[in-house]
């Protein structure tokens, strides 16, 4: 018997439990909660910050926070310990962005045309770019340099003229593997269907 049932028997009285609004009157020290945004405010550095920070956790971890510059600097060191890949020269850009838009001071208005500087708007619509970002490929790969895995340009150069390469690479992306470039393995991506893989591999092979 639940406590409530037992009480009904014991009290034998009609008790109206109406309006369970769910909004507990706050404990004595509580504050009003506002639902945090699920995307970062557009502005200088928002793209890089999203790419580096919205992988392990959603953007609300950032958008619900208000930290000083020093606290954001500390936070980035903690995230590196948590396994975040980031280049040393990217850190100041990310800190500047976070300290501008997520500090205790009122944030500036969202920048209306921030994307243009780093990526043409058309690229955002590109299905291959979309696949690369939604599948976190760009957390480990860059176009022109080694990150966790090899740069896509380097990959394209290595397999130039190899007719078996597209199928081999598609299989490798899907199933993961190690040894072609070093001791760090690539995880499997079994969520990718054959059409998506074909798009990605065709794009990779063109990066030379």
Q: Which of residues 78-107 bind other proteins (CB under 8 A)?
A: 78, 80-90
Q: Distance between the two ends of the chain, CA-based, in angstroms?
A: 71
**Alpha-carbon torsion, ordered 39, 41, 47, 53, to 10 deg:** -50
Residues 19-58 vs ligand HEC: string with x where CB under 6 A?
A: ---------------------------------xx-xxx-
Angstrom distance (rounded) from CA 33 to CA 19 = 21
For other proteins, the closer of residues 85 and 108 by Cβ is 85
> Any contact of residue 151 with ligand HEC (CB under 6 A)?
no
For the segment 64-103, give every residue that binds ligand HEC (CB under 6 A): 65, 75-76, 79, 82-84, 94, 98
Contact between residue 148 and residue 172 where contact means Cβ atoms under 8 Å apart: no
For residue 48, give both structure tokens: 């890089």
For the segment 99-118, give every residue that binds ligand HEC (CB under 6 A): none
- Work out which of 59, 180, 198, 207 binds ligand HEC, going by CB under 6 A: 180
Per partner kind, with CB cut-offs from 5 to 8 A, the member of ligand HEC, other proteins, none near residue 200 is ligand HEC
Beta bridge partners of 186: 177
Angstrom distance (rounded) from CA 95 to CA 48 = 11
Angstrom distance (rounded) from CA 182 to CA 149 = 9
Length reported for the chain: 208
Contact residues for ligand HEC, defined by CB under 6 A: 52-53, 55-57, 61-62, 65, 75-76, 79, 82-84, 94, 98, 135-137, 139-141, 148-150, 155, 169, 172-173, 177-182, 184, 186-187, 189, 200, 204
């Amino acid at each position: 018997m639940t406590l409530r049932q037992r009480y009904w028997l014991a009290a034998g009285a009609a008790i109206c439990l109406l309006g369970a609004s769910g909004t507990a009157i706050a404990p004595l020290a509580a504050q009003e909660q506002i639902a945090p945004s699920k995307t970062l405010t557009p502005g200088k550095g928002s793209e890089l910050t999203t790419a580096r920070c919205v992988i392990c956790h959603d953007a609300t971890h950032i958008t619900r926070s208000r930290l000083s510059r020093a606290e954001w600097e500390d936070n980035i060191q903690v995230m590196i310990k948590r396994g975040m890949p980031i280049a040393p020269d990217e850190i100041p850009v990310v800190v500047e962005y976070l300290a501008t838009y997520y500090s205790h001071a009122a944030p500036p208005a969202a920048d209306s045309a921030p994307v243009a500087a780093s990526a043409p708007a058309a690229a955002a619509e590109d299905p291959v770019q979309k696949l690369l970002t939604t599948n976190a490929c760009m957390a480990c790969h860059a176009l022109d340099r080694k990150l966790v895995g090899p740069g896509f340009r380097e990959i394209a150069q290595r397999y130039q003229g190899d007719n078996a390469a597209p199928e081999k690479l598609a299989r490798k992306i899907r199933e993961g593997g190690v040894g072609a470039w070093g001791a760090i393995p690539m995880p499997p991506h079994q969520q990718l269907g054959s059409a998506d893989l074909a798009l990605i591999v065709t794009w990779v092979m063109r990066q030379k």
